Amino acid sequence: MSSAPPPDVNTALIVLLFIVLILARRTYLQIRGTRYSTGRLFGFAGFYALLFGGLAFSTLYAAVATWGSNADLLVAAYVAVPVAAALLAIPYVQRIVRFEQRNGEWYYRLSWHVPALYLGLFLARIGAEVAVFGLSGLLVTYPPPTPPSVAALVALIVVDLLFGFSLGLLFGRGIGVYRAHRELPTDAGSGPGAPLLPG
């Protein structure tokens, strides 16, 4: 007979579910159309960056323990991948974002694949964590758990870098939407029937 997960794991699962629900809701709103707010754009990106930082720390900790100083290039990759993704995303998002005015406030909408991609990559990273460590991998511990093999560590690194790419897309999205918003006409019509405007 299988035993129930420890209480700490249950708590971690509840927190994870709450985070996934927040990300899923934000994804849905950006596809359907959500009110423009600079604080919300970058506050959400900052929250996502904290998630990435926590997961990346556990992987880098294991990488340094396994490879020593040879892990320096890996640290550079963890920084370079999000930056490169953001630089790629900024002009693309600025071009495709659509705005409309509702009751005097600007709302923006993105194609489904932009926000859905970073949600999917976040879930992939969590899935990799559970695949390598089991449900106990969801717990925040210090020192972080060590992957059982070099192959498992490499798998975490690959998924981390994909997650870092999605983080860069998120920051690129925010900057692209912000830049497009600055270019909007100040005298655009308002009301529920106002047309979508290209960014």
What would the pLDDT profile of 64-108 be if each residue is shown by its tens digit?
888 887 778 888 999 999 999 999 999 999 999 999 888 888 998
Please state which of the ranges 115-124, 136-145, 164-173, 184-193 shows the lowest mean pLDDT.
184-193
Residue 161 pLDDT exceeds 70: yes
Token pair 């981390």 in the structure block, residue: 160
Token pair 């985070």 in the structure block, residue: 19
**Mean pLDDT for the chain overall:** 81
Percent of the chain with pLDDT over 90: 19
pLDDT of residue 88: 94
pLDDT of residue 174: 92
The two structure tokens encoding residue 161: 């870098």
Q: What residues does 105 pair with on adjacent strands?
A: 102
What would the pLDDT profile of 11-52 be if each residue is shown by its tens digit?
777 877 888 888 788 878 878 888 898 888 888 888 889 888
Residue of higher predicted confidence among 172 and 195? 172
Neighbours of 131 (CB within 10 A): 13
Residue 90 one-letter amino acid: I
